Amino acid sequence: MKSTPWHILGAGSLGALWATRLARAGMPVRLILRNAARLEAYNAKGGLTLSEQGQRLTFDIAAQTMAAQEPIHRLLVACKAYDAEQAVASVASRLAPGADILLLQNGLGSQDAVAARVPDAHCIFVSSTEGAFRDEDFSVVFAGQGFNWLGDGQQTAEPVWLRELAAAGIPHQWTLDILDRLWRKLALNCAINPLTVLYGCRNGELQAHDEELRALCDELVRTLQRCGQPRAAIGLHEEVVRVIKATAANYSSMYQDVAQGRRTEISYLLGHVCKAAELSGYDVPLMNRLRAQLIDHLIGKGLPSS
């Protein structure tokens, strides 16, 4: 039986990491690029390159623009959170009824925006701890082993196509608790990432600011509880301390975005938590102040504040 093509929207770091591993395992993959100029640049490059454990391999993966006619049954959205809704809207007319859409975005907020845009699709949320970066256009370096949790927030049984991820060596598990996992990662990111930007430091250096971290975690815990996410709140400060020790030498993803002059996903991280707290009528002075300081910092660097 012919397998369903994987359409990959966003050929950046994670999009390329998934596309190359799926293609390597023999799955049909199609990259969806922004426009004809990007398609031309991709064709000139001759494929998508994966660097893994010192080995560099290029895969001649088929690519197309949004304007292609081929119906989409399975879509992996690998854009940044702030691009996801618009990107999906641009291929909405190609989605088959009930199409599976895997959303790889960090933080929260973009997933609901996508789901509202394409109500007939089956949206699946992915929480990924894998690490990848682009070393050049259409070339990705697999920088950190990790894991992918997938789920749709409902009591749905796992899709049969998950076995394709297993065949491709993409570590994963279907979970009924995907929202807990997304909220938990969001809370960790809110505690760690903004402070690394404001102190201009590696994750490990936050150990010198434990009192501030502890107070922030207390506020985050109470917010998660108020927002109906009590399980994501359990032992938060302890885990934050564990993560900053385990990743002591690393710069957080938000630090790296700012250092490289890239837009951050602030609205889907700290911004989302502050908004959720406001909607539930809960006062979060520490997070509001942190967010305001971060916005000032971003504006000072000439970067978007949302």
Q: Is 149 helix (H, G, I), strand (E, B) or coil?
A: strand
User: Considering CB distances under 5 to 8 angstroms, the limit depending on partner class, which of ligand KPL, ligand NAD, none binds residue 267?
Assistant: none
Q: How far is the CB of 31 from ligand NAD (least distance, A)?
A: 9
Q: How far is the CB of 7 from ligand KPL (least distance, A)?
A: 26
State the angle between helix axes of 210-226 and 236-246 in degrees (0 to 180), rounded to the nearest 10.
Answer: 130
Q: How far is the CB of 111 from ligand NAD (least distance, A)?
A: 10
Check the CA dihedral 124-125-130-134 and report its sign.
positive
* Sequence-ordered strand ranges (E) for the chain: 6-9, 29-33, 48-52, 55-59, 62-65, 72-77, 95-103, 122-128, 131-136, 139-144, 148-151, 172-174
In the range 79-118, which residues lie near ligand NAD by CB under 6 A? 79-81, 83, 86-87, 90, 104-106
Residues that bind ligand KPL (CB under 6 A): 188-189, 192-193, 203, 243, 247, 252-253
Q: How far is the CB of 298 from ligand KPL (least distance, A)?
A: 16
User: Considering CB distances under 5 to 8 angstroms, the limit depending on partner class, which of ligand NAD, ligand KPL, none binds residue 13?
Assistant: ligand NAD
| Parallel/antiparallel/unpaired status of strands 148-151 and 122-128 | antiparallel
Q: Which residues of 213-228 are buried (b: 16+ CB within 10 A; e: fewer)?
A: beebbebbbebbebbe
User: Considering CB distances under 5 to 8 angstroms, the limit depending on partner class, which of ligand NAD, ligand KPL, none binds residue 34?
Assistant: ligand NAD
> 185 an active-site residue?
yes
Q: Are residues 30 and 60 in contact, defined by beta-carbon separation less than 8 angstroms?
A: no
The residue from 12, 153, 159, 171 that contacts ligand NAD (CB under 6 A) is: 12
Cα angle value 296/301/302 (rounded, 5°): 95
Which residue out of 80, 185, 275, 301 is catalytically annotated? 185
Size, binding site for ligand NAD by CB under 6 A: 27
Here the tokens at position 241 are: 């301390």
In the range 247-286, which residues lie near ligand NAD by CB under 6 A? 265
- Please tell me whether residue 11 binds ligand NAD under the rule CB under 6 A: yes
Q: Which residues bind ligand NAD (CB under 6 A)?
A: 9-15, 32-34, 78-81, 83, 86-87, 90, 104-106, 128, 130-132, 134, 265
Name the residues annotated as catalytic.
185
